[in-house]
Amino acid sequence: MMLNDTESLAHSRKELAKVKEQMQSLETDRCAAKEKADYLEQELVAARNNNKTCLSDLEFKYDKVAADRGQLENQLVENRKDLEAQRKENNRILEENKNFRIEVSDLQAELKGAKHRYIEFEKEMEALSQRHEEEASDWKQFQSDLQTAVVIANAIKAEAVEEKELLAERNRELLRKNEDLQKQSNIIQAELDRVKAQKGLAILPTSEIKKHILGSDRELAALRQGRRSSDIKGNQNIVSVKSLIKTIEGHGSLGSSTGSSRRGSSDSLNSPTSTSISFNSHMDSNSRNSPERRTSNHNNNNDNVPLRSALKKPKDSEDKSNNSRNRGKMFEKTSSPVIESLRPVSAENSVSSLLSIRTDADHSEKSYDPLAKLVKQTGGSKRNALLKWCQQKSKGYREVDITNFSSSWNDGLAFCALLHNYIPNLVNYDELLKRHDKRENFSVAFQAAESVGISAKLDVDEMVSIERPDWQLVMSYVTSLYQHFEGD
């Protein structure tokens, strides 16, 4: 029994210890719960304070929002009024836009027509520009030709005046010679009459005497026309008359009637008045009948050299005398065209003649135009078309920039570049480019062109010595190159 009580007591103690432990644990939990309750109470107080603050803020905001709402309602009313006004304005603008679109359509149609007219105007302006360039080029050429014609006319006039003075001096000299010959003829005639009276020899037949007289007449006429030099004419006429006298003495003398007839013929031949009239009338008739013009002889000065030398220099040798007689025969056959050219002519007639000659030459040259095909392809003037062709062919060649037909060709490389396109085996362009020798460039180019049949129209020395060659000569030569390599 005691054992059970002990066990119960121990068990109760254990239970009591457990209860105490539980009470301590509960006390701890109670303290923690109290602390938590205090904390929550503090938070509740803070939350209430915050709620009061938020509520006051919300009330303030509510009042503000209510005020804003009133304003917005008022503004909404105003906006609705504005919207209605805007709608009316939009309708008006739409109507205006519709009208504007109609106007824009009309303006676009007008613009299209204006563009079409502008394109036509541009084409017309381009054609007028090309025509102006051609007319300007032709005008410059005409001015150059006119200046050349004026220079030629002045030279012709000066030469004609000089030749006229020489002819007048020559005429006076021939008249003096004729008077001397007439005196000698009278002396010889008197000697002949004396010899006839002394010897009473037989006289030649009338026909033979007339033949000798006509021969002397022709020699005197040749003297008056200036076909022989003064010394030779004087000596030959004297010899001819003396030989006639010797012939008459050898065959006898004629009767008195025949002798008087011969003397009358001789007197008429030796008359100074007759000589002067014959010479002057022959010169005037030749001047009137000759259709030639002086301008036709200007470009060939060699044709005038024989006449000038015959007028200015006396002939001393037999060969020169023969040449003078030959020129005299030619003088008679051609109706004196050279004497006609020596007549003074007005500058206007000379210019007109020169321009007409040039026009005929240009017309003959234009019968076949080698640049017609090129102009048709590229358009524009001949000069511009040929320039474009040169630029196309020289494209890619170093140190070659062709912008004209003058200074762009002064080093010869442009010619070499063109020829290298067609005959590279004859023109070593790279080697010429290294040497920088202008003379060699021109020589190689011209020789290469000649080797394929293109005649050299330019002189190497002249091209080397000037910086701006004559563009017309250069263009003419380049035209020959184009005609040879690109012509039909």
pLDDT, tens digit, 9 for 90 and up, residues 33-76: 988 898 998 889 998 898 888 888 888 988 888 888 888 899 89
Distance of alpha carbon 312 from alpha carbon 156, whole angstroms: 18
Name the one residue in this structure whose structure tokens are 């002889």: 297
Closest CA to 125 of 133, 137, 375, 138: 133
Token pair recorded at residue 255: 């009767």
Distance of alpha carbon 89 from alpha carbon 233, whole angstroms: 123
Name the one residue in this structure whose structure tokens are 């030629």: 152
Q: Which domains does the chain have, with CATH numbers?
A: 142-358 (no CATH), 367-486 (1.10.418.10)
Closest CA to 294 of 347, 224, 365: 347
Distance of alpha carbon 113 from alpha carbon 109, whole angstroms: 6
- Which amino acid is present at 200? G
Closest CA to 433 of 464, 456, 405, 411: 411
Which of the four pLDDT bands, split at 50, 70 and 90, describes residue 93? very high
Mean pLDDT of the residues in the chain: 74
162 vs 25, more confident? 25
Quick one: which H or E segment has residue 88? helix 2-199
Q: Which residues of 329-350 are buried (b: 16+ CB within 10 A; e: fewer)?
A: eebeeeebbbbbbbbebeeeeb
Indicate whether 477 pLDDT > 90: yes
- Which amino acid is present at 379? G
Token pair recorded at residue 368: 């076949």
Name the one residue in this structure whose structure tokens are 């008679």: 332
Quick one: which H or E segment has residue 149? helix 2-199
| pLDDT tens profile 189-234 | 888 888 888 875 445 555 656 566 666 666 666 665 654 444 444 4
Neighbours of 427 (CB within 10 A): 22
| pLDDT tens profile 380-427 | 888 999 999 999 999 999 999 999 999 999 999 999 999 999 999 999
| pLDDT tens profile 18-33 | 898 888 889 898 899 9
432 vs 225, more confident? 432
Indicate whether 139 pLDDT > 60: yes
pLDDT of residue 368: 66
444 vs 12, more confident? 444
pLDDT of residue 453: 92
pLDDT of residue 376: 87
Name the one residue in this structure whose structure tokens are 């009767």: 255
Side-chain-facing half-sphere of 47: CA atoms under 13 Å:
6
The sign of the torsion formed by the CA atoms of 235, 237, 241, 246 equals positive
| pLDDT tens profile 147-160 | 888 888 888 888 88
397: CB partners within 8 A, 6+ apart: 413, 417, 420, 429
Distance of alpha carbon 53 from alpha carbon 59, whole angstroms: 10
Name the one residue in this structure whose structure tokens are 């040039």: 358
Indicate whether 374 pLDDT > 60: yes
Kindly report which listed range (45-54, 57-66, 250-259, 469-478) carries the lowest average pLDDT score.
Answer: 250-259
Which of the four pLDDT bands, split at 50, 70 and 90, describes residue 366? very low
Distance of alpha carbon 108 from alpha carbon 89, whole angstroms: 27
Mean pLDDT computed over 454-474: 91
Distance of alpha carbon 372 from alpha carbon 395, whole angstroms: 23
| Cβ-contact 192, 250 below 8 angstroms | no
Closest CA to 423 of 379, 454, 466, 389: 454
Indicate whether 342 pLDDT > 80: no
Give the bridge partners for 253, in sequence order.
202
Quick one: how many helices (H) and strands (E) in the chain? 16, 0
Indicate whether 243 pLDDT > 70: no
Polymer length of the chain? 488
Degrees (nearest 5) of the Cα angle 323, 321, 303? 30
| Cβ-contact 398, 430 below 8 angstroms | no
Distance of alpha carbon 351 from alpha carbon 295, whole angstroms: 9
Side-chain-facing half-sphere of 450: CA atoms under 13 Å:
11
If you ran DSSP here, which 8-state letter would residue 411 be given? T
